A and B are shown apart, each in its own frame.
Chain A
Amino acid sequence: MAERSFAKEVQKLKMGEGETFRGEGILAITKALLENGVGYVGGYQGAPISHLMDVLADAQDILSELGVHFEASASEATATAMLAASVHYPIRGAVTFKSTVGLNVASDALANLSSGGVTGGALIIVGEDYGEGSSIMQERSHSFATKSQVWLLDPRPNLPSIVKAVENGFELSEASNTPVMLQVRIRCCHVHGQFEAKANKRPQMNVADALDNPRRDLNRIVLPPASFLHEQEKITKRMPAAVDYIRENELNELFGPSDAKIGIVLQGGMYNGVIRALQRLGLADIHGETQVPLYVLNVTYPLIDNEITDFCADKDAVLVVEEGQPNYIEEAIGAMLYKAGATTRLTGKGPLPEAGEYTGQIMLDGLRAFIRDHEPGLLSDRDRAPNVPQADISGDLAATVPARPPGFCTGCPERPIFAATKLVENELGEHHIASDIGCHLFSIMPPFGLGATTMGYGLGPASASAFNTPDASRRSISFVGDGGFWHNGLTSSIGNAVFNQNDGVIVIVDNYYSAATGGQDILSSRADNRSKSTKHPIADAVKGIGVNWVRQIDWTYDVGKMADTLKEALTTKQDGPKVIVASSECMLNRQRRERPLVKAKIDEGGRVVKPRFGVDEDVCTGDHACIRLSGCPSLSVKKLDDPLRDDPVAHIDQSCVGCGNCGEVADAAVLCPSFYRADTVFNPGRFERFSDRLRRRVTGWMQSRREARILTFQEQ
Chain B
Amino acid sequence: MGVAELTADKGHGTDTTGDIIKLAMLAVGGQGGGVLTDWIIGVAEANGYRAQSTSVAGVAQRTGATIYYVEMTPDTGREPVFSLTPSSGDVDIMIAAELMEAGRAIIRGFVTPDRTTLIMSSHRILAVSEKTVPGDGRRDAGKVIERAATAAKRVVAFDMESEAVAAGTVISASLFGALAGSGALPFPRQSYEDIVRESGRGVDASLRAFSACFERAAAGERVGVGDEAPSGAARKTLRVDGPPALLEIWNALTARTEQMPERIHEMALAGLRKVVDYQDVAYGETYLERLEQAIEVDTENNNWRFSIEAAKYIANAMVYDDIIRVADLKLRTARSVRVRDEVAADPEAVLHVTEYFHPRAQEVCGTLPSGLGRWIENSPRLFALLDRMVNRGRRIRTDTMFGYFSLWVLGALRPVRRKLRRHAVEDAHVKSWLELAISTRARDYELGIEVLVSRRLIKGYSDTHMRGYSKYDMVLSALDRLEGRPDGAEQLRLLRDAALSEEGTGALETQLARLDKMD
Q: B460 at the A/B interface (Cβ < 8 Å)?
A: yes
Q: How many pairs of residues, A versus B, come closer than 8 Å at their CB atoms?
A: 458
Q: B127 at the A/B interface (Cβ < 8 Å)?
A: yes
Indicate if the CB atoms of A680 and B127 lie closer than 8 Å.
Answer: no
Indicate if the CB atoms of B339 and A676 lie closer than 8 Å.
Answer: yes
Q: A500 at the A/B interface (Cβ < 8 Å)?
A: no
Indicate if the CB atoms of A397 and B144 lie closer than 8 Å.
Answer: yes
Chosen A-B contacts, 19 in total, with CB atoms closer than 8 Å, are A191-B53, A284-B81, A378-B12, A397-B103, A401-B100, A404-B100, A405-B64, A618-B335, A624-B137, A628-B503, A654-B165, A676-B356, A679-B351, A679-B354, A680-B343, A680-B345, A710-B280, A712-B334, A715-B238
Per-residue CB contact flags for chain A residues 604-648 toward chain B (1 = under 8 Å, else 0) read: 000001001010101101111101100101011101011110111
Measured between C-beta atoms, what is the minimum distance from B410 to chain A in Å? 11
- CB neighbours (8 Å) of B281 from chain A are 711
Indicate if the CB atoms of A671 and B17 lie closer than 8 Å.
Answer: no
Q: B355 at the A/B interface (Cβ < 8 Å)?
A: yes
Contact with B329, one of A291, A616, A628 (Cβ below 8 angstroms): A616
Q: B428 at the A/B interface (Cβ < 8 Å)?
A: no
Indicate if the CB atoms of A680 and B349 lie closer than 8 Å.
Answer: yes
- CB neighbours (8 Å) of A307 from chain B are 1
Indicate if the CB atoms of A654 and B344 lie closer than 8 Å.
Answer: yes
Binds B, one of A202-210, A275-283, A576-584: A275-283
Contact with A193, one of B20, B52, B360 (Cβ below 8 angstroms): B52
Q: When A627-B131, A678-B345, A711-B246 are in contact, do A667 and B85 touch as well, CB less than 8 Å?
A: no
Contact with B147, one of A186, A381, A395, A666 (Cβ below 8 angstroms): A395
Docked CA distance A71–B53 (Å):
30
Q: Identify 6 new A-B residue pairs, CB closer than 8 A, beyond the known A364-B87, A400-B139.
A: A47-B57, A132-B67, A254-B2, A641-B230, A676-B330, A677-B356
Q: B241 at the A/B interface (Cβ < 8 Å)?
A: yes
Residues of A within 8 A of B (CB): 22, 47-48, 50-51, 129, 132-135, 157-158, 186-188, 190-193, 250, 252-258, 271-273, 275-276, 279-291, 307, 359-361, 364, 378-383, 393-398, 400-410, 439, 442, 445-447, 516, 560, 609, 612, 614, 616, 618-619, 621-625, 627-628, 631, 633, 635-637, 639, 641-644, 646-648, 652, 654, 663, 666-673, 675-681, 684, 688-689, 692, 695, 698-700, 702-704, 706-716
Docked CA distance A675–B326 (Å):
11
- CB neighbours (8 Å) of A609 from chain B are 352
Indicate if the CB atoms of A191 and B52 lie closer than 8 Å.
Answer: yes
Measured between C-beta atoms, what is the minimum distance from A609 to chain B in Å? 7
Indicate if the CB atoms of B127 and A403 lie closer than 8 Å.
Answer: yes
- CB neighbours (8 Å) of B332 from chain A are 703, 707
Docked CA distance A716–B401 (Å):
31
Docked CA distance A435–B456 (Å):
38
Binds A, one of B178-186, B267-275, B377-385, B508-516: B267-275
- Of all chain A residues, which has the CB nearest B352? A679
Indicate if the CB atoms of B126 and A636 lie closer than 8 Å.
Answer: yes
Docked CA distance A442–B59 (Å):
10
Measured between C-beta atoms, what is the minimum distance from A478 to chain B in Å? 21
Indicate if the CB atoms of B62 and A258 lie closer than 8 Å.
Answer: no
B1-57 residues with Cβ-Cβ distance < 8 A to A are: 1-17, 19-20, 28-30, 37-38, 41, 45, 51-57
- CB neighbours (8 Å) of B101 from chain A are 404
Q: When A282-B16, A285-B16, A287-B78 are in contact, do A633 and B30 touch as well, CB less than 8 Å?
A: yes
Binds A, one of B204-212, B461-469, B486-494: B461-469
Measured between C-beta atoms, what is the minimum distance from A348 to chain B in Å? 20
Q: When A187-B56, A379-B12, A393-B111 are in contact, do A708 and B243 touch as well, CB less than 8 Å?
A: yes
Indicate if the CB atoms of A254 and B1 lie closer than 8 Å.
Answer: yes
- CB neighbours (8 Å) of A364 from chain B are 87
- CB neighbours (8 Å) of B120 from chain A are none
Contact with A677, one of B88, B353, B462 (Cβ below 8 angstroms): B353
Indicate if the CB atoms of B393 and A668 lie closer than 8 Å.
Answer: yes
- Of all chain B residues, which has the CB nearest A667? B393
Indicate if the CB atoms of B315 and A409 lie closer than 8 Å.
Answer: no
- Of all chain B residues, which has the CB nearest A193? B52
Measured between C-beta atoms, what is the minimum distance from A286 to chain B in Å? 5
Q: B177 at the A/B interface (Cβ < 8 Å)?
A: no
- CB neighbours (8 Å) of A380 from chain B are 12-14
Measured between C-beta atoms, what is the minimum distance from B311 to chain A in Å? 9
Indicate if the CB atoms of B144 and A400 lie closer than 8 Å.
Answer: yes
Contact with B459, one of A188, A409, A622 (Cβ below 8 angstroms): A622
Q: When A400-B140, A625-B464 are in contact, do A711 and B84 touch as well, CB less than 8 Å?
A: no
- Of all chain A residues, which has the CB nearest B346? A680
Contact with B270, one of A135, A643, A714 (Cβ below 8 angstroms): A643
Measured between C-beta atoms, what is the minimum distance from B412 to chain A in Å? 8
Measured between C-beta atoms, what is the minimum distance from B49 to chain A in Å? 12
Measured between C-beta atoms, what is the minimum distance from B434 to chain A in Å? 16
- Of all chain A residues, which has the CB nearest B13? A380
- CB neighbours (8 Å) of A618 from chain B are 329, 335
Q: B236 at the A/B interface (Cβ < 8 Å)?
A: yes
Bin chain B's interface residue count. Answer: 35 or more
- Of all chain B residues, which has the CB nearest A405? B64
- CB neighbours (8 Å) of A709 from chain B are 242-243
Docked CA distance A447–B73 (Å):
44
Contact with A623, one of B88, B238, B276, B464 (Cβ below 8 angstroms): B464
Q: B404 at the A/B interface (Cβ < 8 Å)?
A: yes
Q: B301 at the A/B interface (Cβ < 8 Å)?
A: no
Docked CA distance A625–B112 (Å):
40
Docked CA distance A623–B135 (Å):
6
Q: B240 at the A/B interface (Cβ < 8 Å)?
A: yes
Centre residue among A129, A361, A402, A646 by max chain B CB count within 10 A: A402
Contact with B267, one of A288, A643, A703 (Cβ below 8 angstroms): A643
- CB neighbours (8 Å) of A652 from chain B are 342
- CB neighbours (8 Å) of B355 from chain A are 673, 675-676
Q: When A675-B356, A680-B349 are in contact, do A628 and B136 touch as well, CB less than 8 Å?
A: no
Docked CA distance A65–B12 (Å):
55
Indicate if the CB atoms of A673 and B461 lie closer than 8 Å.
Answer: yes
- Of all chain A residues, which has the CB nearest B135? A647
B59-112 residues with Cβ-Cβ distance < 8 A to A are: 59-67, 69, 73, 78-90, 100-101, 103-104, 106-107, 109, 111-112
Indicate if the CB atoms of B73 and A286 lie closer than 8 Å.
Answer: yes
Measured between C-beta atoms, what is the minimum distance from B73 to chain A in Å? 7
Indicate if the CB atoms of A283 and B12 lie closer than 8 Å.
Answer: yes
- CB neighbours (8 Å) of B134 from chain A are 623-625, 647
- CB neighbours (8 Å) of B352 from chain A are 609, 677-679, 681
Q: When A360-B86, A361-B88 are in contact, do A692 and B350 touch as well, CB less than 8 Å?
A: yes
- CB neighbours (8 Å) of B342 from chain A are 612, 614, 652, 678
Measured between C-beta atoms, what is the minimum distance from B400 to chain A in Å? 7
- CB neighbours (8 Å) of B236 from chain A are 715-716
Docked CA distance A474–B349 (Å):
52
- CB neighbours (8 Å) of B222 from chain A are none
Docked CA distance A47–B408 (Å):
55
Indicate if the CB atoms of A407 and B128 lie closer than 8 Å.
Answer: yes
- CB neighbours (8 Å) of B250 from chain A are 711
Q: When A382-B13, A703-B332 are in contact, do A254 and B136 touch as well, CB less than 8 Å?
A: no
Q: When A673-B461, A698-B401 are in contact, do A711 and B247 touch as well, CB less than 8 Å?
A: yes
- CB neighbours (8 Å) of A668 from chain B are 393
Indicate if the CB atoms of A285 and B55 lie closer than 8 Å.
Answer: no
Docked CA distance A685–B277 (Å):
39
Contact with B81, one of A287, A379, A677 (Cβ below 8 angstroms): A287
Indicate if the CB atoms of B273 and A713 lie closer than 8 Å.
Answer: yes
Measured between C-beta atoms, what is the minimum distance from A678 to chain B in Å? 5
Q: When A403-B127, A624-B133, A644-B315 are in contact, do A287 and B358 touch as well, CB less than 8 Å?
A: no
- CB neighbours (8 Å) of A404 from chain B are 28, 63-65, 100-101, 104, 127
- CB neighbours (8 Å) of B9 from chain A are 285
Docked CA distance A446–B137 (Å):
14
- CB neighbours (8 Å) of B366 from chain A are none
Docked CA distance A250–B333 (Å):
80
Q: When A286-B81, A642-B270, A714-B239 are in contact, do A516 and B52 touch as well, CB less than 8 Å?
A: no
